[in-house]
DNA sequence: GATTATTAGTCCTAATTAGAACTAAGTGAG
DNA sequence: CTCACTTAGTTCTAATTAGGACTAATAATC
């Protein structure tokens, strides 16, 4: 049971980050998943739902609703995929692009403050330790 | 922007853990928050919603619904609080206690496997690095 | 080439989520 | 004591969440 403090700390870190990030995103009239989608589409060629879901870690059933709301807000559009009629290409509209250009840098600056306390070396070390743990968890999950 | 890999890794680690943990909890006919509540009440004297929410990091509006469902399942009961008529004491029923005794150790064993790859020292280091980061984030959030 | 299997996305359901409004009950200042 | 303030929980709403059923289209196999 010596792993409990670590587990607890992972959960609390994640939630602390969320509690810090979410109000700022809300002040831009977006929800966190909506911002995530806009940020992922920004400065990228249009992509399929599948690809968007893989990058944002949002499952397909959830993604449909998020895209519906962004479409109503006029920020994204669904276009037919020439190469594969099963799928679509999701792209930012001009309005969505403008939102991206305004909100993305602002939010990155907001987040950067939270990480300023760590040295670059600490960030590298922490990242690689978490990665090792994650990969060992993922290995088990596929069994 | 050097913090992005770390941020990404925190999110992915958290989700990897969730993806590993959730199916096992579901196999015991509970949802993750329901299990969280049972585990928090287990081997503890009855506690108020407030206290339960603080420990599980579940907000009060959410907690009401989770407790409703656990009450319907006969696992918890809400009892009047003698000392303060505004609040209640939440307690495991006999059935809930039995579920706790069966599912808690089983799930701990399941989780332990995921952390076996890390040495005790690595766990301590990782925990303290995350804690430092979290505390610096929390300091900003209170502004 | 026909059949089978896989893939992409939508729709549906049950549960969670945060936050705000609301009620009831305790606390504190005068 | 009385009025303002705080606290505990419920209720409500809009959005997310995962997962399964479903449709349409593509790929794979024989």
- Domain CATH code at residue B80: 1.10.10.10
Partners of B89 in the beta sheet?
Answer: B79
Please give the share of chain A, as a percent, with pLDDT higher than 90.
73
Comparing C-alpha atoms, which of B61, B32, B36, B35 is closest to residue B49? B61
Average pLDDT in chain B: 93
Q: Is residue B11 part of a domain?
A: no
The answer on pLDDT for A75 being more than 80 is yes
Q: Is the dihedral of CA A30, A33, A36, A40 positive or negative?
A: negative
- State which of A88-102, A111-125, B111-125 shows the largest mean pLDDT: A88-102
Convert the pLDDT of each residue in A1-42 to its tens digit.
Answer: 788 899 889 988 888 888 899 999 999 999 999 999 999 999
User: Please, what is the end-to-end C-alpha distance for chain B in angstroms?
Assistant: 23
Q: CB burial class (10 A; 0-12, 13-18, 19+) of residue B9?
A: buried
Which one of B6, B13, B136 has the shortest CB-CB distance to A10? B13
Please, are residues B20 and A140 in contact by the beta-carbon 8 Å criterion?
yes
Q: Is residue B96 part of a domain?
A: yes
- Check CB contact of A141 with chain B, cutoff 8 Å: yes
Which one of B3, B111, B118 has the shortest CB-CB distance to A133? B118
Please, are residues A91 and A77 in contact by the beta-carbon 8 Å criterion?
yes
- Check CB contact of B16 with chain A, cutoff 8 Å: yes
Q: Is residue B9 part of a domain?
A: no
Residue B15 pLDDT level (bands cut at 50, 70, 90): confident
Q: Is residue A143 part of a domain?
A: no
Residue span of the structural domain in which B91 resides: 22-141
The answer on pLDDT for B143 being more than 90 is no
Integer Cα distance of A14 and A32 in angstroms: 14
What average pLDDT does the segment B15-24 reach?
90
Return the pLDDT at A82: 94
What average pLDDT does the segment B117-129 reach?
90
Q: Is residue A123 part of a domain?
A: no
Convert the pLDDT of each residue in B61-110 to its tens digit.
Answer: 999 999 999 999 999 999 999 999 999 999 999 999 999 999 999 999 99
- Check CB contact of A108 with chain B, cutoff 8 Å: yes
Footprint of strand D on the protein (CB under 7 A): A 31-34, 57-62, 65-66, 69, 84-86; B 22-23, 48-50, 60-61, 63-65, 67-68, 78, 81, 84, 86-88
Comparing C-alpha atoms, which of A137, A41, A19, A26 is closest to residue A95? A41
Residues of B in contact with A109 (CB under 8 A): none
Q: Is residue A50 part of a domain?
A: yes
Comparing C-alpha atoms, which of B4, B122, B108, B6 is closest to residue A133? B122
**Considering its fold, how many domains does chain B have in total?**
1
Cβ neighbors of B37 (< 8 A, separation 6 or more) are B52, B56, B58, B63, B66, B67, B70, B76
Q: Is residue A65 part of a domain?
A: yes
Task: Measure Cα distances from A92 to A31, A40, A102 in Å.
Answer: 16, 10, 14
Q: Is residue B5 part of a domain?
A: no
Residue A142 pLDDT level (bands cut at 50, 70, 90): low
DSSP for A16-46? HHHHHHHHHHHTTT--HHHHHHHHHHTTS--
């Amino acid at each position: 049971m010596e792993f409990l403090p670590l587990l607890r700390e992972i959960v609390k870190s994640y939630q602390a980050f969320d509690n810090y990030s979410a109000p700022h995103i809300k002040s831009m009239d977006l929800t966190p998943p909506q911002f995530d989608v806009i940020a992922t589409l920004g400065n990228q060629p249009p992509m399929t739902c599948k690809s968007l879901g893989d990058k944002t870690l949002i499952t397909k059933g959830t993604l449909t609703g998020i895209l519906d709301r962004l479409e109503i807000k006029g920020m994204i559009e669904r276009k037919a995929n020439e190469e594969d009629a099963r799928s679509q290409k999701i792209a930012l509209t001009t309005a969505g692009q403008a939102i991206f250009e305004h909100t993305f840098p602002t939010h990155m600056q907001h987040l950067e403050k939270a990480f300023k306390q760590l040295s670059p070396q600490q960030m590298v070390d922490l990242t690689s330790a978490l990665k090792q743990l994650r990969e060992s968890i993922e290995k088990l999950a596929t069994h």
